[in-house]
Chain A
Amino acid sequence: MNNNSQSIHIKRDILIRLVKAFDSDNFEKNVAKIPFDMRPKGADVPYRCCIYKEREIIKDRIIADLGFALEPLDESERLDEMAADSLQRKTIEENPLTVIDAACKGCVPSRVYVTDLCQGCVARACEKACKFGAITIAGGKSHIDPSKCKNCGMCINACPYNAIVRLIVPCEQACPIGAISKGENGTATIDFEKCISCGKCVAACPFGAVNEKSHIIDVLKAIKDGKKVVAMFAPAIAGQFPGSIFQLKSAMKKAGFFDVLEVAQGADITTKKESAEFVERIEHGATFMTTSCCAGYNNFIAKHLPEIKPFVSDTKTPMYYTAEIVKQKYPDAISVFISPCVAKRKEVQANENVDYVLNADELGAIFVGRKIEILEMEDTQYDYDSSKQARNFGVTGGVAAAVNSLLDDEEKANAYVIDGLTKDSIKQLKKYAKDGCCADGNLVEVMCCEGGCIGGNSNIASPKIAKKIINSLLEKSNDLK
């Protein structure tokens, strides 16, 4: 996964401009200007065919950042009106992702492709191999008629020069459950019945065509309206910014949040409950238990592998417990979960204690737009001192290690970590569910993203650096008791 591509750079650039527009004296007008500020008259056209298309795609990104779906729109919408609408909205969109058509069309529609290596040979093995009559020879070269091609790949195998290749569509390749596919018209569509909101397509698309419908305007507006907006950040977020989490808290308060809690606080509760649950399950003869705090995994279970449900821990996620604490402490609060991934958006929808989600990069955009230098902030303490184990929840292996830290030697789990939900690891999980046991261990930690939550699609820091920053926090943290 690459969180450092040009398309991500543009995405964050737009978010920052959106925050600045929100803070300006004329939000609607300044939002409408963003495409022209970014691609002014006479500017270079770095990526697409013409400046108009570049502006159009920037406009679409802004619409997603304003929190709207692109699918029902027809290009006639005016950005200033949409910006105004975003301020009126009371509820958030159900499905978290939306695809930018115009950006998506930049990528291969047909998937089997004749390269320049084609020698126009006499054998014409490709033509013969094709059962659908999709290949013709013209001008001394093979041609594939995309309307007839069924992507079977027979010609690929037949060509003696390896001149025919299968072009990979990155989003399809990245999706572990085949929920996104590029149709005949060249546009990818997401099947939301299947989609587990893992965010892998968002990270994989080199055109940045898959976008989250942001809640950033809703959060900014709640703050501006003087609501008590309380943020709780996932353990992985501690690794996404320069400076300590104590400086981060000051920075967030400066950005307008009323209070800030670590979701690690809830992770301490998750750990306690989950370790007790593990012991109890094993005593009652269970052969294994899987963790339950990854939202992508939970979505996957619900939609694709309900059979494994009896083996999944009933303990709630750290976000769940933290949100409970927030609403107990501040019953009138608007609570915002600061998230490393898309999947948590679905979990938030199902949780009445959480109102909005902000991604790490959306929070970052607020800092930049409001000129908040985290490294220059004073420390602000947290009311609760989260444990070392909880603060490591976002790193693969962290959850299982936390559970084990509370168990006596004879009770200790034999932990096995599924580091990333992929087509292969899904096969593994299916086998565990079918066999009713797991040969690899009796506590299976499942993380949808490789590396754990620090590998989430909306993170800022490289996973390596995130881990380093988190490790420096762990050194100063106490063991869970």
Chain B
Amino acid sequence: MIKLNYIIETKGALMETIEVKICSGTTCFVMGSSFLNELYELIPQKYGEKVSVTQSLCLGQCSKQDTHSNAPYVKVADTIISEATVEKVLAEIEKRVNKNE
């Protein structure tokens, strides 16, 4: 059974929505993913329906030898961002939004 104890979700139109998944798996959380939380407010503010942002279970990036070092991970569409920061995530979104337009 999977339960998230705080879920902040914004859904946009399915078609050209860029999906952002912030990892809340144990490794990413311990390595600081809660400090990415302002993205849950920033992204909808900035991009409205164009980008959706959700909390995610372990993205599977941390399980290999020593890959915990590069947590927290965030997935923007099909790109994995390691040692994610608010700035890095926003830069990746920006790149994609510009490409879409």
Contact = CB atoms under 8 A, between A and B. Distances in A.
Interface of A: 3-4, 8-9, 12-13, 16-17, 37-38, 241-244, 247, 251, 361, 364-365, 367-368, 371-376, 378-379, 460-462, 464-466, 468-469, 472-473
Interface string B55-73: 0011000110010110000
B68 A368 contact: yes
A367 B30 contact: yes
Interface string B37-53: 10000000000000000
B5 A472 contact: yes
Contact of B32 (A4, A247, A469): A4
Secondary structure of the A side of the interface? helix
A247 B24 CA distance: 14
Nearest to A370: B26
Given A365-B30, A460-B29, A371 B6 contact: no
9 contacts: A17-B66, A242-B5, A244-B3, A364-B29, A368-B26, A368-B68, A375-B58, A461-B34, A462-B37
A50 to B, nearest CB: 20
A376 B29 contact: no
A226 to B, nearest CB: 25
A38 B66 CA distance: 9
Interface residues of B, number: 25
B31 interface: yes
Nearest to A4: B35
Q: Which of B4, B29, B34, B35 has the most CB of A within 10 A?
A: B34
Contacts of B34: 460-462, 465-466
A364 B35 contact: no
B1 interface: yes
A91 B32 CA distance: 32
Contact of B24 (A8, A251, A375, A472): A375
A373 B30 contact: no
A375 B4 contact: yes
A368 B30 contact: yes
A361 B27 CA distance: 11
A13 to B, nearest CB: 5
A242 B31 contact: no
B13 interface: no
A373 B29 CA distance: 10
Contacts of B31: 9, 12-13, 368
